[in-house]
Amino acid sequence: MIEHIKCLIIGSGPAGYTAAVYAARANMNPVLYTGQQPGGQLTTTTEVENYPGYPGGITGPEMMEDFRKQAQRFGTQVRYEMVTKVDFSGPVHKAWAESGHEIHANSVIIATGASAKWLGLPSEQKLMNKGVSACAVCDGFFFRGKSVAVVGGGDTAAEEATYLAKLCPEVHLLVRRDELRASKIMQERVFKTSNVIVHWNTEVLEVLGENDVNGLRIINNQTNSESVLPVQGFFVAIGHKPNTDAFKGWLDMDEAGYIKTIPGTTKTNIEGVFASGDAQDKIYRQAITAAGTGCMAALDAERYLAAKEIEEMAEA
């Protein structure tokens, strides 16, 4: 059975839910597929202090619950499933959910976000969820009182390290270069946290342990000297990959897989398909910018549908 709808939103998080709020209020009757991580990356974040409207701060999961409830309040259908395939060849856009359900949509808003990158070490995969994690908020509690390491040099790594410092006696921050890429305020937090130990010019060669992590084999890439760092937890915070594979071949993307949009809009190269959030933003990647582009996408989709209706009326 084929379902015909006005507006399909693929992905949740600040972009998807904001698009849903605007689309629902515009009587576009949106259907939103959450994807494999309902709420997106923000569900793995601790205190959110820089989002307007929350003067006392809020946790990422709580914020995403608020977003979801607001979207549903105006009539958004939220479905906890992934869209695995699309066909944007015709005027009506087709999509298939993992259950096999086929949707035909007059407009599509993509808000699939991005996912954490891994180092690609066999030992990292072997010990996944046995001491290796990409989410300090999700798993930090299990390492309370233990020594841990975080790899990365950006804001994510800095945030993970300072969060873990509240739970662990020692947090080793392993930085490949001789400087952090993190924002100045996050760098200051790292340097002011006494139990965060920064290891410059350091790379991980192997995660050690059989059934759980007991150390890391690391190398100083300037001196080529190897050593073993005894830790019980290892957190990977080296960036993200946009979740856009399902749209390859249909939408224009850059070399990293971020969807290209017409500057100043959320319009893609396919008429009626709009991209928002971290799936198209590799520069800012903030909750508020994602929400902003979600709003833009809904407004762009609404105007697109209105123009189509006028065209059809004129032809009739």
pLDDT of residue 240: 79
By the 10 Å C-beta count (0-12 exposed, 13-18 middle, 19+ buried), 223 is classed as exposed
Lowest mean per-residue pLDDT among 55-59, 64-68, 135-139: 135-139
Residue 262 per-residue DSSP state: -
Catalytic residue status for 135: yes
Q: Is the pLDDT of residue 177 over 70?
A: yes
Catalytic residue among 7, 66, 87, 135: 135
pLDDT digits (tens, 9 = 90+) for 249-285: 999 999 989 999 999 999 999 999 999 999 999 878 7
Q: Name the CA dihedral angle for 164, 170, 173, 179, rounded to a multiple of 10 degrees.
A: 110
Between residues 81 and 313, the one the model is more confident about: 81
Catalytic residue among 138, 178, 212, 245: 138
Average pLDDT rounded to a whole number, residues 215-227: 97
Catalytic residue status for 139: yes
Torsion sign, CA atoms 23, 78, 280, 87: negative
Q: Is the pLDDT of residue 316 over 70?
A: no
pLDDT digits (tens, 9 = 90+) for 144-172: 999 999 999 998 899 999 999 999 999 99
Average pLDDT rounded to a whole number, residues 74-82: 97
CA angle in degrees (0–180, nearest 5) for 275-120-233: 100
What distance in Å separates the CA atoms of residue 82 and residue 290, rounded to the nearest whole number? 20
pLDDT of residue 146: 97
Q: Count CB atoms within 10 A of the CB of residue 245.
A: 11
Catalytic residue status for 7: no
Average pLDDT rounded to a whole number, residues 296-303: 98
pLDDT of residue 138: 64
pLDDT of residue 44: 63
pLDDT of residue 156: 86
Between residues 123 and 47, the one the model is more confident about: 123
pLDDT of residue 311: 84
User: Phi and psi (nearest 5°) for 97?
Assistant: -85, 165
Catalytic residue among 7, 87, 139, 278: 139
